[in-house]
């Protein structure tokens, strides 16, 4: 059954309340709330994991997801510890979204490593090995080019397999996703529907080649959505229109194989979220 999420803007400007938005999303029946990870910049914002923890404490049902954590900002073993703690405290509601990192200026600004594209994929694969390693074994030692652990002792171990979704786009990273991840979460902006279909095929093929069932993976799509208003400037990068038009477009994504649609809402966010929940989601849940 398809699931539906909403992206919460981590603004600390005082003009909006991201925690209240997440609580309302749960009340409206969304399955997931997600937060992006851009700790560097001149716009006031909350740090992703801190805000996600506060949201998890104020909700009881909705899953909480990082969409996605920029890997260079945090050591993988510590990220694993953070995810286990929040998953335990939230009764198993964490989805750990990870990305190799595309915002080089942000990494440089905070003193994090700035890597070449090939190094980013290599580091992401090492990070997966470290995260899963400390989740399952103690002590855990790993020696990689980008990360290492020396008899790491990280306790307790997760009570359940915490899902890891990767936000990947290039062929090598997509193949890594199919081999090692629990889900794939691209965005409609950098991956149009046609591009996303071909990239999904790469993920599925890599999963099969690794002896995995591609049906067991989640395929999530970040979709910019606005009900009513003018047509989108680029229909291949966002969805807008009357409810029936939006439903038609979103059903195409579900038919293409996406199991999760995560909405990046445009316009008046509170009003748009309520309209999506009442005018769009019931049909998607019935037909998707």
Which pLDDT score is estimated for 231? 83
Domain count, the chain: 1
- Average pLDDT, integer, range 178-198: 97
- Mean pLDDT, the chain, rounded, equals 97
CA distance 73 to 62: 26
69's enclosing H/E stretch is strand 69-70
Q: Parallel, antiparallel, or unpaired for β 3-7 and 32-35?
A: parallel
**pTM of this prediction?**
0.97
- Structural domain that includes position 72: 3-287
Which pLDDT score is estimated for 232? 84
86-115: b (≥16 Cβ within 10 Å) or e: bbeebeebbbbbbbbbebeebbeeeebeeb
- Average pLDDT, integer, range 116-126: 98
pLDDT single digits (tens) 234-267: 889 999 999 999 999 999 999 999 999 999 998 7
Instruction: Residue 107: give its domain's CATH number.
Output: 3.20.20.30
pLDDT single digits (tens) 191-237: 999 999 999 999 999 999 999 999 999 999 999 999 988 888 888 99
- Nearest CA-CA partner of 107 in 73, 139, 146, 65: 73
Cβ count within 10 A of residue 157: 12
Q: Where does the pLDDT of residue 288 fall: very low under 50, low under 70, confident under 90, or very high at 90 and above?
A: confident
């Amino acid at each position: 059954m398809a699931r539906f999420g909403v992206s919460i803007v981590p603004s600390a400007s005082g003009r909006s309340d991201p925690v209240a938005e997440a609580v309302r999303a749960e009340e409206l029946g969304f399955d997931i709330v997600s937060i992006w990870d851009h700790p560097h910049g001149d716009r006031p914002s909350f740090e992703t994991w801190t805000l996600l923890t506060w949201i998890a404490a104020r909700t009881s049902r909705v899953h909480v997801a990082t969409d996605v954590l920029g890997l260079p900002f945090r050591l993988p073993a510590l990220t694993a510890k953070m995810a286990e703690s929040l998953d335990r405290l939230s009764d198993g509601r964490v989805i750990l979204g990870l990305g190799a990192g595309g915002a080089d200026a942000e990494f440089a600004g905070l003193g994090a490593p700035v890597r070449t594209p090939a190094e980013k994929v290599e580091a992401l694969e090492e990070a997966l090995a470290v995260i899963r390693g400390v989740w399952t074994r103690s002590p855990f030692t790993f020696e990689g080019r980008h990360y290492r652990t020396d008899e790491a002792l990280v306790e307790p171990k997760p009570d359940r397999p915490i899902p890891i979704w990767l936000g990947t786009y290039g062929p090598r990273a997509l193949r890594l996703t199919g081999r090692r991840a629990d889900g794939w979460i691209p965005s409609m902006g950098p991956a149009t529907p046609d591009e996303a279909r071909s990239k999904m095929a790469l993920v599925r093929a890599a999963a099969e080649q690794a002896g995995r069932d591609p049906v067991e993976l989640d395929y999530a799509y970040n979709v910019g959505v606005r009900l009513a208003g003018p047509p989108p400037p680029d229909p291949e990068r966002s969805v807008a229109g009357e409810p029936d038009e939006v439903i038609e477009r979103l059903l195409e994504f579900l038919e293409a194989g996406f199991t999760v649609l995560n909405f990046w809402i445009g316009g008046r966010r509170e009003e748009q979220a309520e309209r999506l929940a009442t005018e769009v989601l019931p049909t998607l849940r019935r037909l998707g």
